[in-house]
Structures are given as structure tokens and as C-alpha cells.
Chain A
């Protein structure tokens, strides 16, 4: 039953991202709450749960993206999988770790999304896309991740999803 909370939470985050945070733009970008959550989950819980959460979050975001279905799902899934692949090798209690992972994860995810959008006919110029969208978004996501990482970790503990030796609430 507890595992149902995560999909519901993802739906709430996706809905917030498309509505509430539309009005809270910084640098002209809306934060990617689903990605922040997915990265925090994979850091707290690890794979495969993190990648599954990311894929689920991607599918939900894809539903509202207006872009060809699957682009967001691949972006979320691959970027979070990569973070999950290395998360076991680092010390995660440092406050900068979730921030750095979120920054890099945001760049990887949006690069994948941008590449697929370009391949499907979207008019995207690389440098403006990078400088005016990806970097500001990565910064915004990083700040939010640094703030909310501990809370998401605690939530994982409450949901009994934290792994031994993982996040310590």
C-alpha cells in the first residue's frame, strides 16, 4: 500500500510543475520537480527503485509535455539510471552531493530530451538551448534538491524504502 504513495506523489509533483510552478519561474524556467524527486529517491534508495520511479515520473510528464510520447520518459530514466549506477561509490551525506547530482542529472536529462526533440523536427539551437534553458534549469533544480533532499530521504524511511546503509534520517 505504501508503494502506491510514490506514483501519487509523482502525479502531484507533475501537476504542480505544470501549474503551481508556472507562476514561480526563475530565470524564465520552471523547475523539474519530478527529476529532483527522482534523483533524491535514487540517491536515498538506489536502483532499481530509483530508475523505476524515474520511468514512472517520465511517463506522467510525457502525458502533459505535448512532445512525442516517450521523450521525457527516456530522459528521466536514463539520467536517473546513470546516477543510480554511481551513487553507491560516493559519500552521500554531504549536502553538496544531491546538488551536484541534480545539476549533472538535469543537464543529461535535458540534453537527451533536446536531442530527441531535434530529431523529431523541433527547431532547437544548441547554444541558446544550453545557456538559456538547460543551465538555468539545472541551477534552479540544484537549489531545490539541496533544500528538499533530506525531507525526501526521510519520506523514503517512512515508506520503508530506504536500503540498509542508505539515507539515515
Chain B
């Protein structure tokens, strides 16, 4: 029985194979191979396939993620080192750009004030006693720097040399409480004495003392060097008035000045080497 069934089945298989060969011959020559039957079956299967395909994609992604962990780990390390390298380059670039901007401004300042002789210097330290009030620069007596020489940047007055070594000098900033500079309100011409004010590091201002009671100085006015003091040339920017106070008991006014220079970011300065004439230079201080 089984043999008969097998032979019968073999016949069916052969016949069906011939039928399929005919199908193959017909459909092989057709460019559009989608028959009605194929269309019906396709309509049934396509929605199922859609979800299976999405599911398969998720499984594949999961396996891909797992198999790529070691690769990702080494890639991560490589990328981290690249990021560090690029960050260093960025920092270098920003520092170079900032330096370039400062030097350009200083060059402009130098060109605008050609009557003076300038000696460029770098700030190499800050005095430990009063953190932002005394600076150490890399030029000293060997380069011709003398005590009392004024120190400026393109933004304005920094202070004056208070001590010199062979290749270094200490500069007292105008925000130091011991600093005294003759100042003038540029709009009204009122004159006074500018000195440092006590305050927190990085947030120190100056005070302009002894302004006349009739002074019209007001917040926003610029204060420059008056030239009365023989140690500072005239018209160098000191800062901007932020507050004016009446000191009626002494019949004077005073003003709080925000320096034009940010002393927390001071890097390059100019020493004016010919601002003080030999006649004006204090005896015994050479």
C-alpha cells in the first residue's frame, strides 16, 4: 500500500513539477511577475512581515550592540584622547587669539601715544602680600627700568614701578591702598587724588578724593591722569566713575572709580621709560 502510495505520489510530484515548469516558463518572460494569486498571498503576509521586520531589526540592533561593545570601548578611548587633544588645541588657540588681540591693542596704544618710549614686559607673578595689588614683571634695571616709572596697557593705567631687580620689577597697581595718582574727570576737568580702595580680590575699585564741592562729576564719567603728578603722563585712562559721594563735613566730594583694567587678567604691560624727566626724578632713587 505504502509502495503504491509512493508511486502515486511520485507521479503527482512529477506532474506538479511539470506544471511548475510551465509556470516558470510563463513567469520568467513576464516583467511584472505579480499574479492575482501572488497579490492575495502578499496582502495577507505583508502586514505580518512588517512587524516581524521591525522586531528583527531590534533584535539585530541588540546583538550588534552587544558584539560591538569591545569595539565601542576602544573607540570610546580613542575618541576621548582625541577630545582631550582637541580641547588642548582649542585652549592654545583661544590663548593665542587673546594674546594676539591684546598685543594688537597695545600696538595701537603705542602708535597713538608716540611721544613716549615704551618697554614691553610680561606679568610673571603677583605679590603674595596683597594679591592683586602688586605685580611682578620680567623687566628690571638691566633693561633700564627705574622706580616710579608708570606702567600702562592699551586699556589704561596699571600703576607704577615700586621696586626693581636686575631682570624683574614690582609694580604697585592703582587699586593698592598705598597708590596715589593725580586724576581728572575728563568731561568736567575736575581734579582729585585717585587711590586704591579696600575690597575683595578681583573686585577692587579706586576712590577719587578731594573733588571740589562744585564738581559736576557723575557716574559714567571717565577719569584720566591729570598730569599734576610728575610721575604720570597726562590723559592716561584710569577708569569710570560709578558713584559720587558728598563729603560735606570736609566740603569736598569723592567718587568711586571702576578701573579700566581688569587686574585679574593682566598679562602684558608697557613701562613708559621717558615719562619722568631726570630733573623730576627723586634724588637717591636712581
Contacts and interface: CB of A to CB of B under 8 A. Distances in A.
A78 B12 CA distance: 11
Interface string B1-30: 010011001101100110111111111100
Nearest to B51: A19
A78 to B, nearest CB: 7
B213 interface: no
A70 B23 CA distance: 6
A63 B38 contact: yes
Contacts of B24: 68-71, 74, 116, 120
Contacts of A138: none
Given A22-B56, A63-B42, A69 B17 contact: no
Interface stretch (A7-15, A97-105, A124-132, A147-155): A7-15
B53 interface: yes
A74 B9 contact: no
B68 interface: no
Given A51-B9, A77-B13, A19 B53 contact: yes
| A interface, size bucket | 35 or more
Interface string A51-89: 100010001101110101111011001100100110010
B52 A20 contact: yes
Counting chain A CB atoms within 10 Å of each CB, the highest count among B6, B13, B52, B60 belongs to: B13
A11 B24 CA distance: 22
A68 B56 contact: no
Interface in B199-255: none
Contacts of B50: 19
A77 B17 contact: yes
B31 to A, nearest CB: 11
Interface residues of B, number: 38
A85 B48 CA distance: 34
Contact of A64 (B17, B22, B45): B45
B35 to A, nearest CB: 7
B17 A78 contact: yes
A47 B1 CA distance: 13
A15 B43 CA distance: 12
A22 B52 CA distance: 10
A68 B38 CA distance: 12
A28 interface: no
Contacts of B27: 68-70
Interface of B: 2, 5-6, 9-10, 12-13, 16-17, 19-28, 33, 35, 37-38, 41-42, 44-45, 48-50, 52-53, 55-57, 59-60, 63
Which 9 residue pairs are nearest across A and B when measured between Cβ atoms?
A: A23-B60, A70-B20, A19-B53, A20-B56, A70-B23, A19-B52, A23-B56, A68-B28, A120-B28
